[in-house]
Amino acid sequence: MSPRKQTAGAKTPVGPVRTVEPGHIFQMYRKMLEIRECEDQLNTAFSKNLFPGYIHSYLGQEACAVGVCSALRDDDYIVTTHRGRGHYLAKGMALTPMICEMFGKANGICGGRGGEMHAADPALGILGGNGIVGGGIPYATGAAYSAVLNGSDQVAVAFFGEGASNQGSFHEAMNLAAAWNLPLLFVCENNLYAEMTPFSASSRQVDVARRAEGYGIPGEVVDGNDVLAVYAAAEAAVARARSGAGPTLLELKTYRYGGHFQGDPCHYRTREEEAEWRARDPLIRLHAHILSQNLSSESELDSWREDQKAQVAAAIEVALSSPDPDPNEALSFVYAS
């Protein structure tokens, strides 16, 4: 079956003409570089069998996490998925403990309990990843409701894939958030495939954003490979939520370069389609934008890449030389005392 071609969003190099401070653009670019380097080097390490488990790569989707999280404050909440590294980093999680967790090490952010699909940091509002597709969306409502009860203007974001949008949990949460007018953003990263299944085979309506209509809330399709477009959409949705106008569903059309997991042969999609999406690479587009606007120089951007490369390499080195957890630790923290 040849996968149905889906809307990719604007072909323009980078999104809507609006003024974003160059400093903010640089931060986004550096964050995207950090995620890109992290995913690249983890793939390499994984293919050398340097750590166990799976790796659900975020390569190609960097603009989604970075665009949305750039519109958030530290005290806003995010809930993510099995493919969450981009979100963790974009929300400010430190690289080294996150990578050590992937390696299952004692100094990983979960002490080696979580592995690839789990990480959290309450101080940064990062409320965890998930091994259950759609498992995080319901509890994002609770974080948003805490903000309501506290009378604060914090918002919560639930990140999930288009596959998860077929779970009941998504629909229940959308409906409750809409009925209760919760400060909650539903951010669907539609990378076109859930494992090996194209979305067109599991949903008649291939624009997840259209589902918002059924719940009476705004829904918007955004070019998920255009970080400035994602940022603009997220900023508007966050502003609505903070002002008490309730939830929004954003659908970010994007693509994962790797397979569902590292080693997936990707027989379910064409090499042409992959090449098309590579041509819309979110980093290349922002890079081009920065240069075309004379915001920075090629050599400076290169130096940032080298810098991120070195930081990721150093974090992997730390992970490789870190101790495994003490197995006795498995018995602790079952209950809070």
Partner 1 sequence: MTMKNYCWALIDAINEEMARDPDVFLAGEDVAAAGGAFGGSRGLLAAHGPLRVRDTPISEEVIVGLGVGAAMTGKRPIVEIMFMDFFGLCMDQIVNQAAKMHYLYQGAFKMPMVIRTMTAVEMGIGPHHSQSLEAWVGHVPGLKVVMPSTPRDAKGLMKSAIRDDNPVVFIENLALHKIKEDIEDEEFLIPLGKADIKRAGRDVTVVATGLMVHKALAAAEILSQEGIEIEVIDPRTISPLDVDTIVASVRKTNRALVVTSAHKPFGLASEVAAQIMDHAFYDLDVPVARLTPPFTPQPFGKGFEAFLHPDKASIVAAVRELMA
Residues at the site binding partner 1, with contacts judged by CB under 8 A: 77, 79, 110-111, 113-114, 118, 120-122, 127-128, 130-132, 135-150, 156, 168-169, 172-173, 175-176, 179-180, 332-337
Report what 226 binds from ligand TPP, partner 1, none; CB cut-off 5-8 Å by kind.
none
The listed partner (ligand TPP, partner 1, none) that binds 227, CB under 5 to 8 Å by sort, is: none
Q: Using CB under 6 A, which of the segments 128-136, 219-227, 233-241, 326-334 binds ligand TPP?
A: 128-136
Cα(46)–Cα(48) distance, integer angstroms: 5
What does the alpha-carbon distance between residue 52 and residue 103 come to, in Å, rounded to a whole number?
7
C-alpha separations of 328 from 19, 190, 324, 331, 333 in Å: 54, 41, 12, 6, 11
Does residue 68 belong to the site contacting ligand TPP (CB under 6 A)? Answer: no
Place of tokens 């959290």: 120
Distance CA 223, CA 335 (A): 44
Least separation, in Å, of the C-beta of 172 and ligand TPP?
14
Contact 81, 57 (CB under 8 A): no
CB contact set of 333 (below 8 Å; sequence gap of 6+): none
Does 82 bind ligand TPP (CB under 6 A)? Our answer is yes
Closest chain position to ligand TPP (CB): 161
Say if CB 259 and CB 43 are below 8 A apart.
no
- Beta strands 219-223 and 184-190 are unpaired
Surface-to-core class of residue 52, CB atoms within 10 Å of its CB (0-12 exposed, 13-18 middle, 19+ buried): exposed
161 counts as binding ligand TPP under rule CB under 6 A:
yes
Q: Which of 36, 83, 105, 289 binds ligand TPP (CB under 6 A)?
A: 83
Q: Check the CA dihedral 185-189-195-197 and report its sign.
A: positive
Binding of ligand TPP at residue 194 (CB under 6 A)?
A: yes
- Which residues 5-34 are close enough to bind ligand TPP by CB under 6 A? none
Q: Residues 75, 195, 300, 302: which binds ligand TPP (CB under 6 A)?
A: 195
- Give, as ranges, the residues between 240 and 299 that touch ligand TPP (CB under 6 A): 260
Q: Considering beta carbons, is residue 66 or 158 the nearer one to partner 1?
A: 158
Q: At what angle do helices 22-47 and 298-321 cross, to 10 degrees?
A: 40
User: Could you tell me the smallest distance in angstroms from the CB atom of residue 107 to ligand TPP?
Assistant: 27
Candidates 100-108, 160-168, 173-181, 321-329 — which segment interacts with ligand TPP by CB under 6 A?
A: 160-168
78 contact choice in ligand TPP, partner 1, none (CB below 5 to 8 Å, kind-dependent): none
Interacting residues with ligand TPP (CB under 6 A) = 82-83, 131-133, 160-164, 191, 194-195, 260
